Structure 1
């Protein structure tokens, strides 16, 4: 579970149960990620976490990174695509095409974030309800 609390005007802090935290704010807020940037980071991070062992074992290096960005609708209120580009050194790889096949398959099968985005997961919103009071018996 993730807990998000207000830290100031347009500033929030998300924490997890393992003690990690990240600042969330509007896209122009210094020192924070916007919610869309977090979504993009989640897609890129998931691809990296999923492919890390495969890539590092086959390339023989420890260099692995990703670049991603949100492609938004014309209105700017919807993300329609999050292209993720992985980067790693292929100079020591005998069969780069085979590595590509394995990495793509792993990410498509095991990356929870990108799989969820493809399925268009819902995000139901629950709001507080007013306290229900018993009618006055008199």
Structure 2
């Protein structure tokens, strides 16, 4: 007996704004610029941000019900490697640095972080679970050359 797989497609649209600079927009209209250059996130940094953000939401949503953190920083790191001319990121790590107030709620929230981070990793964080699984990426190409019938 296999588990039921639920599917809900997600998408973003990327538009080139200049050489190696892009704007990405989601279905709700949120957008950000990234690419290669000063003041821009690189695609690898966006991957790290997605991993850190996904697990942060899982942990923060639950702990904030007990206490608001006084400090909440998550650092995602990875080593960009080149093997036989192909690049990838290895040794991914997420480091949670969270401080809660010294109250009953703060102690309760602090006591949940380890379990919530593990649940995020094992079950809830779509981004890190996708990376760990090694989901294939396909390409669809639609390339044209301008109309030359002038």
Q: Structure 2 length normalisation: TM-score?
A: 0.73
Q: State the match for 1:135 in structure 2.
A: none
Contact 2:58 2:116 in 1 (8 A): no
Q: Structure 1 length normalisation: TM-score?
A: 0.78
Q: Which runs of 5+ in 2 are unaligned?
A: 1-10, 145-150
Q: State the match for 1:43 in structure 2.
A: 51
1:100 is aligned to 2:114: yes
Tell me, in whole angstroms, the C-alpha distance in 1 between the residues paired with 2:95 and 2:26. 27
| Helix, strand or coil at the partner of 2:114 | helix
Contact 2:63 2:109 in 1 (8 A): no
Match for residue 68 of structure 2 among 45, 61, 71: 61
Tell me, in whole angstroms, the C-alpha distance in 1 between the residues paired with 2:53 and 2:116. 18
* Large movers: runs of 4+ above 6 Å: none
Contact 2:63 2:110 in 1 (8 A): no
Higher strand share: 2
Q: State the match for 1:136 in structure 2.
A: none
Tell me, in whole angstroms, the C-alpha distance in 2 between the residues paired with 1:88 and 1:101. 14
> Which is further off, 42-51 or 80-89?
80-89
> How many correspondences in the alignment?
128
Q: Which runs of 5+ in 1 are unaligned?
A: 131-138
CA RMSD of aligned residues (A): 2.5
1:124 is aligned to 2:148: no
Match for residue 129 of structure 2 among 115, 118, 125: 115
Query: 1:74: Cα distance to partner?
Result: 4.2
Question: Is the alpha carbon distance of 1:17 and 1:98 closer, same or farther for their aligned partners in structure 2, counting shifts above 3 Å?
Answer: closer
Contact 1:25 1:32 in 2 (8 A): yes
Question: Is the alpha carbon distance of 1:102 and 1:37 closer, same or farther for their aligned partners in structure 2, counting shifts above 3 Å?
Answer: closer
| Helix, strand or coil at the partner of 2:90 | strand
